[in-house]
Structure 1
Amino acid sequence: MSTNTPENRGNRKLLIVGLIVILCSINGILLYMNYQKKEKTEEQAEVIRVKNSELENQIKVYEALKADFERQSQELQAMGLENDSLEAKITSITKDLNELKGFRTRSYSLEDQRKFRDRAAAFEKQLLQKDKEIAQLKQDKETLTTENTTLRTTQTRLSDSLTTVKTTNVALTEKVKIASRLEAQGINVMIINQRGKEKDDKDNEYRAKRVDKIRILFNLAKNDVAAKEPKTVYMRLIEPDGAALYNLATGSGMFQIDGEDVYYTAKRDFVFDNTNQQLSFLYDKNAEYKRGEHTIELFADGFMIGKATFVLK
C-alpha cells in the first residue's frame, strides 16, 4: 500500500514549513543575541574608555595641584618664609598622584572616582585660600619695603641734617670760644730790688743786678660773651735764650696749648666777673737774672691773652 498519499505529502509540507519557521526563529534569536552581545561589548568598551579618560583627567588635575602648591612654596621661600603645612600638602598630593597612576593597571571604581574628585576639590579650595594669603603677604612686604625705603631716606636726611647741625654747632662753639677769649690790657712789668723797692720804667729797661723780684700787673678787658666763672691764668717768663723759667718749688708746672705740653712759670686762679678786674704776679727767681730781653706771655682758656717784654741790662 503506497504511503505517498496526498495526505502524507501535505504533512511533509507542513513539517518542512514548520522546520523553516523554527530555523528562522532560531536565526532571529541568534541574530538578536549577537546584537545584544555587541551592544554590551560596546557599552563595556565605552565604560572603560570613560573610566580611563576620567582617570587621566584626574591625574592631570593632581599634577596641576602639585605644581601649584610647589609654586606657592617657592614664593614663600623667596620671601624668606617657611610653611610646613604646604610641604605636608605636597607630600599628600604626591601620594594620591602615585595611587591614581596605579589605577592604570587595575580597576578604577566609581567610589575611587568620587573619593579623588572630593579630595581634589578640597585641595583646590586650600590652594585658592593660600594664594590669597600669599598675595596679601606680598602686598604687606611691598608696603613694608616702601616704608623702609621712606624711613631710610628720612634717616639719611636726618643724619645729614644732624651732621650739618653738629658742624654748625662746632663752628658756633668755636666762634663763641674765640669771642669769649679774655684779653690782658695794660701789662706793666715792675722790678723789686733787694730792699723791697719797686721801680717802674716806662721803657721797661732795668739793671739786672738790682732785680730781686718781678711784679706783673694787668687788667682783664670786659667781655660780655665770656662766662662769669672760675678760671686760671698762666704766666710764662721767657729768658733771652728762649727758655721759660721753670721751678716746681715756686709753683711752676705744665699746661697744654694747641695740644702740646708747655712749661709755665706761675699760675693764678681767679673768678672772672667782667669788671675790668686787675690781676698780678709776683715772681722770685731766687737767682741772678740774665741780661737781655725777657718776654712775658699770659694764657687763659687755651689762648694767649697778652704779651709784653722788658730788658735787663
Structure 2
Amino acid sequence: METKSKNPMAGTLPEGNNSNNNRKLLVVGLIIVLLTINGILFYMQHQKTQQVEEKEEVIRVKNSELENQIKVYEALKADFERQSQELQALGVANDSLETRIASINADLLKLQSFRNSSFSLKDQRLFKARAANLENQLKQKDAEIAKLKADNEILNGENTQLKTASTQLSDTLKVLKSTNTSLTEKVALASRLEAENIQINIINKRGKEKEDDEAEFRAKKVEKIKVSFNLAKNEVAQKEAKEVLMRLIEPDGAAVYNLATGSGTFMLDGQETYFTAKRDIVFDNTQQNVSFVYAKGAAYKRGAHTVELYADGVLIGKSNFTLK
C-alpha cells in the first residue's frame, strides 16, 4: 500500500493573502480619512481666511471713508477761514462764521476719534449730511462776499474820484496858503521898523552929556549911557503900540541885565534872550525920535560895547562905542 506525504503550509496560503488585503484596505481607508480630514481642514481654513479678508476689506473701506470725511471737513474749515479773512479785509465782522468754524473743529475732533473706534453707517450718513449742508452755506456765503466785493469796488471807484477831487482842492489850498504865507512874510518884512540916525552919548556923574565923534569915552567917567534914534518912515507898518527893546552888550559878549533897572527876557530866533531896557511907544510914522537913558549902577567895563535895538522880536538897528 503506497503512502502520500502532506505539505503543512498548503492549507494556510489563503489566510495570509486575506490578511495582506485587509491591511491594504485599512491603509487605504486611513489615507482616505486623512485626506478627507485635510480637505475639511483646508476648506475651513479657506473659509476663515476669506472671512478675515472680508473683515479687513470692511475695515479698509470704513477707514477710507473716515479719512475722506476728515479731508472734506478740513477743506470746509479752510474755506470758511478764507471767507472770514475776506470779510475782515472788507471791514465786515461776521460772528456766525466764527461759530461755524468752531463747530467744524468740534466735528473734526469727533471724526478723528473714530480712528480708534467704530465708524458706523449711521455716523457716515450723519457727517455726510452735515458736510453737504456746510457746502451749501459755503456757496451762499461766497456769493454774498462776491457781491460785497463788487459793491466795494464801486464805492472805491467813487472814493477815488472824491480823493482826486479832494487832492486837487488840497493842492489848490496849499498853493493859496503858500501864496498867502509868502505875502504875509513880505508884508511882515516890509512892515518891520527901522532905527536910523543912532546916536550914543555918555552922561557923566555931574549929569553933563558928552558927545564924541569917534564914540570913544572914558569908562570911569560914565554914569549913564544915552541911546537915541529915529524910527524910519514905513507906510506898510501899522500905527499902533510898539515895544522897543535895547540890549547893551559888554566887551565879554554878555548883555547888561538888571531886573531892578527894567531888564528882562524876550524870544529871539526861538531862544530866550536877555534885554537891558525897554520903551513902550506908539508908532505914528512921523520919523519920531526914541531914546534910552540907562544907568548901570556899577562901573562900566573898558572895551568895545554894542547896542542892539529890537521891535516885534526882530533887530531894527545896531551901533558900537568904546570905553577907554
Alignment deviations for residues 30-87 of structure 1 (CA, whole Å, 9 cap, x no partner): xxxxxxxxxxxxxxxxxxxxxxxxxxxxxxxxxxxxxxxxxxxx9xx9997x9xxxxx
Deviation of 1:153 (Å): 1.1
Query: In structure 2, the residue corresponding to 1:212 is in which secondary structure?
Result: strand
Once the two structures are superposed, residues 182-227 of structure 1 have per-residue CA deviations (whole angstroms, 9 ceiling, x without a partner) of: 1100000111111111111111111112111111100000111112
Distance 1:297 1:79 in 2: 63
1:198 aligned to 2:221? no
Displacement of 1:144 after TM fit?
Answer: 5.6
For the pair 1:189 / 2:200, whether they are aligned, the reply is yes
Partner of 2:230: 219
Q: Does 1:257 align with 2:265?
A: no
| Superposition deviation, residue 253 in structure 1 | 0.8
In structure 1, what is the Cα distance between the partners aligned to 2:91 and 2:204? 92
Name the amino acid aligned to 1:172.
L
In structure 2, the partner of 1:177 is 188
Where does residue 266 of structure 1 map in the other structure? 277
Q: CA deviation at 1:168?
A: 2.2
Aligned-partner Cα distance in 2 for 1:79–1:208: 80
Amino acid at match of 1:251: G
Q: The residue matched to 2:298 in structure 1 has which SS?
A: coil
**Shift in alpha-carbon separation, 1:138–1:288, aligned structure 2, 3 A:** closer
**1:190–1:172 distance in 2 versus 1, CA, 3 Å:** same
- Structure 1 unaligned regions, length at least 5: 1-73, 83-136
State the SS of the aligned residue for 2:274: strand
Whole-Å Cα distance in 2 between the matches of residues 267 and 190 of structure 1?
Answer: 18
Gaps of 5+ in 2: 1-82, 95-147
SS in 1 for 2:214: coil
Q: Report the residue type matching 1:232 in the other structure.
A: E
Once the two structures are superposed, residues 6-27 of structure 1 have per-residue CA deviations (whole angstroms, 9 ceiling, x without a partner) of: xxxxxxxxxxxxxxxxxxxxxx
Percent identity between matched residues is 62
Superposition deviation, residue 139 in structure 1: 10
Letter in 1 for 2:239: K
Give the secondary structure class of the aligned counterpart of 1:203.
coil
Following superposition, the deviation at residue 254 of structure 1 comes to: 0.8
Match of 2:242 in 1: 231
Going from structure 1 to structure 2, the CA distance change for 1:154 and 1:211 (only over 3 Å counts) comes to same
TM-score (norm 1): 0.54
Letter in 2 for 1:288: A
Question: Structure 1: which amino acid aligns with 2:232?
Answer: A
Instruction: Give, as a single letter, the amino acid of the residue that structure 2 aligns with 1:203.
Output: E
For residues 143-198 of structure 1, give each alpha carbon's deviation from its aligned partner in whole angstroms, at most 9, with x where no partner exists.
Answer: 76554332221101011111222222222222221111111000001111111111
- What secondary structure, in the 3-state scheme, does the structure 2 residue paired with 1:218 have? strand
Task: Pick which of 147-156 and 289-298 moved more.
Answer: 147-156
Match of 2:297 in 1: 286
Q: What's the counterpart of residue 309 of structure 1?
A: 320
Q: Secondary structure at the match of 1:307?
A: strand
* Alignment match, 2:311: 300
Query: Take 1:157 and 1:164, find their aligned partners in 2: how far apart are those partners?
Result: 11
Q: Distance in 1 between matches of 2:294 and 2:200?
A: 11
Q: Name 1:43's counterpart in structure 2.
A: none
Q: With structure 2 as the length reference, what TM-score do the two structures score? A: 0.52
* Amino acid of the structure 2 residue aligned with 1:243: A
What's the secondary structure of 2:297's corresponding residue? coil
Q: Which amino acid in the other structure matches residue 207 of structure 2?
A: G
Query: RMSD of the alignment, in Å?
Result: 3.1
Paired residue type of 2:181:
V
Task: Name the SS of the counterpart of 2:159 in structure 1.
Answer: helix
Aligned to 1:17: none
Q: Which residue of 2 aligns with 1:114?
A: none
CA deviation string 1:231-254 (max 9, x = no partner): 111100011111110000000011
Map Cα deviations across residues 89-130 of structure 1 (whole Å, 9 max, x no partner).
Answer: xxxxxxxxxxxxxxxxxxxxxxxxxxxxxxxxxxxxxxxxxx
Between the aligned partners of 1:138 and 1:195, the Cα distance in structure 2 is 94
Counterpart code for 1:252: S
Equivalent residues in 2 for 1:57-206, closer than 5 Å: 146-206=157-217
SS state at 1:167 partner = helix
